[in-house]
């Protein structure tokens, strides 16, 4: 009874919840959809506030050197978005316009800028933390649009989407316990929304042959868990939240130290807000007013 | 007594309202700043709801062909953000990594994608309206992040920022009257927030020598008005809202017709949310709790 990718997309467009564009994985979002996104965001914020986490909203672009320093181009080169602009003279402008009018590649006429699209919400945070952390480490509640270059017909695979993250830096025991706390919180929240969710160990989509070894290592280290929910397939449920333990990967790059001088450990937990909302619409239908009363109440709708 | 650009930036960073990055014009935003952004957004939404405008939130990227079709590369080539990704083999990946590790330009190793950064919130709307509009035209309430490649030390000139737009399509009389209504509403709102604002005729920053003629035409046609407010200079106040009448520029590109078969006219009005918030912090100080009671009440703080 689960709608296919094409059927779900059509239902979203027909009901005005989504607005189409000519590019796969790029949509506008109507008021009903945004109401659910805001409600989910507020529920997650309640947990962040219980942690007394510091709240930051980042723009959709970041300092490009963060991608190179963290090895993003090594692990996920095909997902990155590098931003290029025209920086030339009036004469060079004519050459750009000739390319544009001939529907040719602009690449020879634009230059790489200092910014790239944000690939995950916690990337711009780490460089701001270089130095020594307070005794009990730090907690952050973050939000941003993120970009993944993976154009797809799957409505749950957008090129630009909102990620709601929480991040913890501290010692290993603090960080691992905090990730477990958020797995419990997320399962509890999503179950209360009457979603058919399950927690599973997972891996990131590391690129190429070398990526296979990185996936194996990540699995062995229990570096990543995901909460999965059927959106357009019962057999291949979609990850709607992830729980990632980085050991000292980011702290070693940006020299983030604990009070005792050791490298900090870090973990981030992220909710894909559009995917969580899609799980709700797919499960409970396109009309908010017909959703189960308990779900509406839990979301404050 | 107005703080300089450097002083205001330092005040914002010291108070935790902004979080710095290594790139000019790219910042994170702390909770106090976001509280004001949300409050401004809500006040503008009250006007949109009075218009019964249809609400859409667009992502920070759009179909790149919209820029070419609307002449954006002709008028504002240096502001655009074209998105490029790696699309190669494992062998080509090695060449990318060599460039990245040597801090060289990635351009030869990445390809232009189908998306670009959204330059103004109304651009993704127009292609969705191709065809014949209802009798009374249409009204939209839009929000999105937009991008301008203009790295600057001016805290009011960000590379990525939030723009809150309203758009009207209809006949000339409808569109011009609606723009006037929003100029009145915006002046009333911003004055009630005790900001020292003034309305003035304005022009867009059209590129190059040809741009001079376009500016002159725009001024003669009264195509653009702005509301200006001192943020870091009394002599050169900053535009915090703009009111643009496009005649049939966008409708002719996307074939948007009135019920009588004529081309629709369009206008958009936009608030730069970060600039409006900066005007408030610059005028009333960095501590929300010390702002004038009338301002706090108007914003629901």
* Interchain CB distance below 8 Å, A85 and B106: no
CB burial readout B116-141, b (16+ within 10 A) else e: bbbbbbbbbbbbbbeeebeeebbbbb
pLDDT of residue A300: 96
Q: Count CB-CB contacts under 10 A for residue A268.
A: 27
Q: What percent of chain B has pLDDT over 90?
A: 97
The beta-carbon neighbor of A59 closest among B30, B59, B145 is: B145
pLDDT of residue B239: 98
* Interchain CB distance below 8 Å, B55 and A34: yes
Q: What percent of chain B has pLDDT over 70?
A: 100
User: In Å, how far are A166, B17, B43, B189 from B294, measured between CA atoms?
Assistant: 35, 22, 14, 12
Give the β-pairing of A111-117 and B111-117: unpaired
CA B206 remoteness from chain centre: 16
Which residues from A are below 8 Å from B28, CB to CB?
A: 56-59, 124-125, 128
The beta-carbon neighbor of B85 closest among A81, A86, A208 is: A81
A46 touches chain B (CB under 8 A): no
Closest chain A residue by Cα to residue B78: A86
Q: Choose from A20, A78, A115, A213 for mutation: most chain B CBs within 10 A.
A: A115
CA angle, A155 as apex, B147 and A244 as ends, to 5°?
75
Length of chain B: 301
The beta-carbon neighbor of A30 closest among B55, B107, B110 is: B55
* Interchain CB distance below 8 Å, B22 and A115: no
Q: Compute chain B's Rg from CA coordinates.
A: 21
CA gap A246, A125 in Å, rounded: 14
Closest chain B residue by Cα to residue A208: B90
Q: Which residues pair with A54 in a beta bridge?
A: A140
Evaluate whether B26 touches A64 at the Cβ level (below 8 Å): no
* Interchain CB distance below 8 Å, A23 and B100: no
Give how far B182 is from chain A: nearest CA, Å: 22
Which residues from A are below 8 Å from B61, CB to CB?
A: 26, 117, 147, 159-160
A32 touches chain B (CB under 8 A): no
Walking along chain B (301 residues) 10 residues at a time, the average pLDDT comes out as 95 98 98 98 97 98 97 96 96 95 91 97 98 97 98 98 98 98 98 98 93 94 97 97 98 98 98 98 97 98 93
Which residues from B are below 8 Å from A107, CB to CB?
A: 84, 107, 111-112
* Helices B31-50/B273-284 angle, 10° precision: 120
pLDDT of residue B1: 78
User: In Å, how far are A2, B8, B284, B300, B301 from B291, measured between CA atoms?
Assistant: 53, 17, 5, 12, 10
B98 touches chain A (CB under 8 A): no
pLDDT of residue A104: 87
pLDDT of residue A86: 97
A153 touches chain B (CB under 8 A): no
Closest chain A residue by Cα to residue B86: A78
pLDDT of residue A1: 77
CA gap A299, A39 in Å, rounded: 5
Q: Choose from A13, A18, A28, A126 for mutation: most chain B CBs within 10 A.
A: A28
Between chain A and chain B, the number of residue pairs with CB atoms below 8 A apart is 208
Helix and strand tally (H, E) in chain B?
10, 14
Q: Which residues pair with B138 in a beta bridge?
A: B169
CATH number of the domain at A5-63+119-299, please? 3.30.930.10
Which residues from B are below 8 Å from A160, CB to CB?
A: 59-61
Contacts of B144 (CB under 8 A, 6+ apart): B57, B58, B59, B60, B118, B121, B124, B162, B163
A27 touches chain B (CB under 8 A): yes
pLDDT of residue A17: 98
CA gap A192, A188 in Å, rounded: 6
- On average, the pLDDT of chain B sits at 97
* Interchain CB distance below 8 Å, A60 and B160: yes
pLDDT of residue B65: 96
Residues 107-146 of B with CB under 8 A from A: 107, 110-115, 117, 124-125, 127-128, 145
Low-confidence ranges of chain A (pLDDT < 50): none
Identify which of B170, B203, B205, B164 has the alpha carbon closest to the alpha carbon of residue B185. B164
Count of CA atoms in the C-beta half-sphere (13 A) of B278: 36
Q: What is the DSSP letter of B59?
A: -
pLDDT of residue B86: 97
């Amino acid at each position: 009874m689960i709608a296919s990718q094409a059927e779900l997309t059509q239902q979203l467009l027909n009901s005005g919840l989504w607005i189409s564009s000519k590019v796969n994985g790029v949509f506008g979002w109507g008021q009903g959809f945004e109401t659910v996104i805001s409600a989910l965001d507020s529920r997650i914020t309640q947990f962040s506030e219980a942690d007394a986490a510091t709240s930051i909203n980042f723009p959709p672009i970041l300092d490009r050197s963060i991608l190179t320093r963290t090895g993003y181009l090594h692990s996920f080169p095909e997902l990155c978005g590098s931003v290029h602009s025209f920086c030339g003279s009036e004469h060079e402008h004519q050459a750009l316009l000739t390319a544009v009018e001939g529907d040719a590649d602009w690449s020879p006429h634009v230059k790489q800028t200092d910014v790239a699209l944000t690939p995950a919400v916690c990337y711009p945070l780490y460089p701001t933390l270089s130095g020594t952390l307070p005794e009990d480490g730090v907690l952050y509640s973050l939000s941003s649009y993120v970009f993944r270059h993976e154009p797809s017909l799957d409505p749950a695979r957008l090129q630009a989407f909102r990620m709601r993250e929480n991040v913890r830096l501290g010692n290993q025991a603090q960080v691992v316990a905090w990730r477990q706390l958020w797995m419990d919180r997320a399962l509890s929240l999503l179950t209360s929304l009457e979603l058919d969710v399950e927690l599973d160990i997972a891996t990131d989509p590391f690129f190429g042959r070398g990526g296979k070894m990185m996936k194996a290592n990540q699995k062995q280290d229990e570096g990543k868990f995901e909460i999965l929910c059927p959106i357009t397939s019962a057999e291949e449920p979609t990850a709607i939240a992830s729980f990632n333990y980085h050991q000292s990967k980011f702290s070693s790059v940006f020299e983030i130290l604990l009070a005792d001088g050791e490298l900090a450990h870090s973990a981030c937990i992220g909710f894909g807000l559009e995917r969580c909302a899609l799980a709700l619409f797919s499960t409970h239908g396109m009309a908010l007013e017909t959703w189960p009363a308990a779900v509406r109440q839990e979301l404050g709708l």
